[in-house]
Amino acid sequence: MKKMFSVLLILTMVLSLNISAYAESYTVQSGDVLWKIAEQYDKTWQELAEKNQLKNPNLIYPGQKITISQDVNVANREKVERTNKDKVVALLKSIETGDMSAITYINPNKYIQHNLSAEDGLEGFGKLLSALPKGSAKVNVIRAFEDGDYVVTQTDYDFFGPKVGMDVFRFENGLIVEHWDNLTEKTEPNPSGHTQFDGESIITDLEKTEENKALATDFVETVLINGKYDQMSNYFNGDQYIQHNSGIGDGLSGLGKALSAMAEQGITMSYSNIHKVVGEGNFVFVMSEGTFGGAPYAYHDIFRIENGKIAEHWDVMSEIPNKEEWKNDNGKF
């Protein structure tokens, strides 16, 4: 159930409003009032009344077409002015605010979906039933960074309960054309008192982006995939390592305790291969595939690098459903 209520679910709600951000008209729905329609398009009710020659602005009816002037051009100007990171943050925030213009940042003709609970393309959104009460969603993007055509976000969601999400968006020609995500429940602070969100969020060291991406990649390949735990200390500054995984404490000592506890319970965690590495300055995101307790899992990890060492870590891990349960054929990765 929780996978259904990711970013995709909320975008379904946006589409269900029957407001086309690409069109210059709006079809009146039952319960609509002119001032509210005008507000959605950043206009006044007086402008719409004059544009549509409405003698009585209080008398509009379901099915009536209300002409909206020049909104396509306004949206296009925003696309030019905003960075891809800005567009993603605006799109996610629209889950809470209902800002209709944000949907224009998605390519309507090409949208490859890797959330396996949704059908491919924008049309897949319309087939998801939403039970989310209007105005109940809360969205707070904690971290966002951009690397070429990719944007990564870490988001504090609240819809049908508090959740942690990591999303990846790929752009072509300024529009979103592909999406991956992992979602999990929020938990209590970990043994060191850290939450799944707190910690540093300021992007620095832009000139070290490629160097930091290489370090994070090497750590995942050497330690997590190839199991060379004796080399782990090469990637950290002693025991100075801030951990945000809800079950693990700070430092290499905290990681060692967690691994020992899992081993005692017969639980194994493995990484098999890396699918994506996205970074900006001191932050690096790694998308990997592996297993947890014998089940296939997708791992989303964010590392903060400081002075050539891993200083902080956040993650969201998600079990991959059986293929017969998939709603699209694109796979998790």
CATH number at residue 221: 3.10.450.50
> What is the DSSP track for 191-218?
TTS--SS-S------GGGHHHHHHHHHH
CATH of the domain at 52: 3.10.350.10
Please indicate, yes or no, whether residues 155 and 11 belong to a single structural domain of this protein: yes
For the chain, what percent of residues have pLDDT higher than 70? Answer: 86
Q: Of 185, 219, 244, which marks where a domain is finished?
A: 185
| 20 domain-assigned | no
Please check whether residue 320 is in contact with residue 296, taking contact to mean a CB–CB distance below 8 angstroms.
yes
Tokens of 174: 């300024």
Please indicate, yes or no, whether residues 96 and 121 belong to a single structural domain of this protein: yes
Is pLDDT above 80 for 186? yes
Q: 252 vs 21, 243, 261, 267, 312, CA distance in Å? A: 50, 9, 14, 19, 11
| 64 domain-assigned | yes
Question: How much is the pLDDT for 9?
Answer: 43
> Confidence band (pLDDT; 50, 70, 90) for 81?
low
| 333 domain-assigned | no
Structural domain for 149, as ranges: 7-15+78-185
Question: How much is the pLDDT for 76?
Answer: 52
How far is the first Cα of the chain from the last one, in angstroms, to the nearest whole number?
20
| Range scoring the smallest mean pLDDT among 52-56, 142-146, 148-152, 224-228 | 52-56
Number of domains comprising the chain: 3
Is pLDDT above 80 for 328? yes
Predicted confidence (pLDDT) per residue in 243-263, tens digit? 999 989 898 888 778 777 777
Please indicate, yes or no, whether residues 150 and 263 belong to a single structural domain of this protein: no
Please indicate, yes or no, whether residues 302 and 216 belong to a single structural domain of this protein: yes
> Confidence band (pLDDT; 50, 70, 90) for 127?
low
| Range scoring the smallest mean pLDDT among 103-107, 109-113, 232-236 | 103-107
Please indicate, yes or no, whether residues 85 and 181 belong to a single structural domain of this protein: yes
Locate all alpha helices (DSSP H) within the chain, ordered by sequence: 7-16, 34-40, 45-51, 71-81, 84-97, 122-125, 209-219, 251-264
Please indicate, yes or no, whether residues 154 and 268 belong to a single structural domain of this protein: no
| 258 domain-assigned | yes
Please indicate, yes or no, whether residues 240 and 287 belong to a single structural domain of this protein: yes
Please indicate, yes or no, whether residues 214 and 320 belong to a single structural domain of this protein: yes
Question: DSSP label at 329?
Answer: S
Burial category of 63 from C-beta neighbours within 10 Å (exposed 0-12, middle 13-18, buried 19 and up): exposed
| 119 domain-assigned | yes
Across 69-78, 79-88, 91-100, 201-210, which has the greatest mean pLDDT?
Answer: 201-210
Question: DSSP label at 29?
Answer: -
| 194 domain-assigned | no
d(CA 36, CA 313): 43
Please indicate, yes or no, whether residues 160 and 218 belong to a single structural domain of this protein: no
Higher pLDDT, 230 or 218: 218
Please indicate, yes or no, whether residues 63 and 108 belong to a single structural domain of this protein: no
Tell me phi and psi for residue 246, to 5 degrees: -65, -15
Stretch 146-166: mean pLDDT, rounded?
94
| 267 domain-assigned | yes
| 94 domain-assigned | yes
Please indicate, yes or no, whether residues 247 and 316 belong to a single structural domain of this protein: yes
Please indicate, yes or no, whether residues 277 and 315 belong to a single structural domain of this protein: yes
